[in-house]
Amino acid sequence: MFKKTKEDFISVFGAPDEIIQSSYENAMYETLIYNEKGIHAFIDNGNVFNITTFGNEAMKSGADTYVDLSKVYNNQALDLMNSFLDTKNVADSVKAMEIYNKEIKFLEEAQDKYPDDPKILAQLSNAYVDANKMDVAMKQFEKGIQKDPTNEVYRYNYGVLLLGGNNFADAVDQFQKAIDIKPDYASAYYNLGVTFLKWGARLQDKAITEDSGDMTYKEKFAAAVSPLERYLKDNPEDAQIWNFLGKVYANLGQTDKSKEAFEKADLYK
Average confidence score pLDDT of the chain: 78
pLDDT tens, residue by residue, 29-83: 222 222 222 222 323 333 333 344 433 444 556 888 888 888 989 899 989 999 9
Contact 186, 17 (CB under 8 A): yes
Helix then strand then coil, in percent of the chain rounded to 5, is 65, 5, 30
User: Which residue in 73, 149, 163, 56 sits closest to 110, CA to CA?
Assistant: 56
Instruction: Say how far apart CA 265 and CA 269 lie, in whole Å.
Output: 6
Task: Let me know if 42 is exposed, middle or buried by CB neighbors in 10 A (0-12, 13-18, 19+).
Answer: middle
Instruction: Say how far apart CA 48 and CA 36 lie, in whole Å.
Output: 18
Contact 237, 268 (CB under 8 A): yes
pLDDT tens, residue by residue, 112-132: 888 778 788 778 888 888 888
- CATH code of domain 167-269: 1.25.40.10
Torsion, Cα 159 265 250 257, to 10 degrees, reads 110
Confidence bin at 165 (pLDDT 50/70/90): confident
Residues paired with residue 34 on neighbouring β-strands, in sequence order: 40
Contact 73, 41 (CB under 8 A): no
User: Which residue in 59, 2, 4 sits closest to 33, CA to CA?
Assistant: 59
Q: Average the pLDDT over 215-244 and give the result.
A: 94
Confidence bin at 157 (pLDDT 50/70/90): confident
Total length of the chain: 269
Task: Let me know if 116 is exposed, middle or buried by CB neighbors in 10 A (0-12, 13-18, 19+).
Answer: exposed
Contact 41, 48 (CB under 8 A): yes
pLDDT tens, residue by residue, 188-213: 999 999 999 999 999 999 999 999 99
Residues paired with residue 40 on neighbouring β-strands, in sequence order: 34, 52
Residue 257 has pLDDT above 60, yes or no: yes
Q: Supply the pTM of this predicted model.
A: 0.65
Locate the domains of the chain by residue range.
Answer: 1-148, 167-269
Instruction: Say how far apart CA 222 and CA 226 lie, in whole Å.
Output: 8
Residue 183 has pLDDT above 90, yes or no: yes
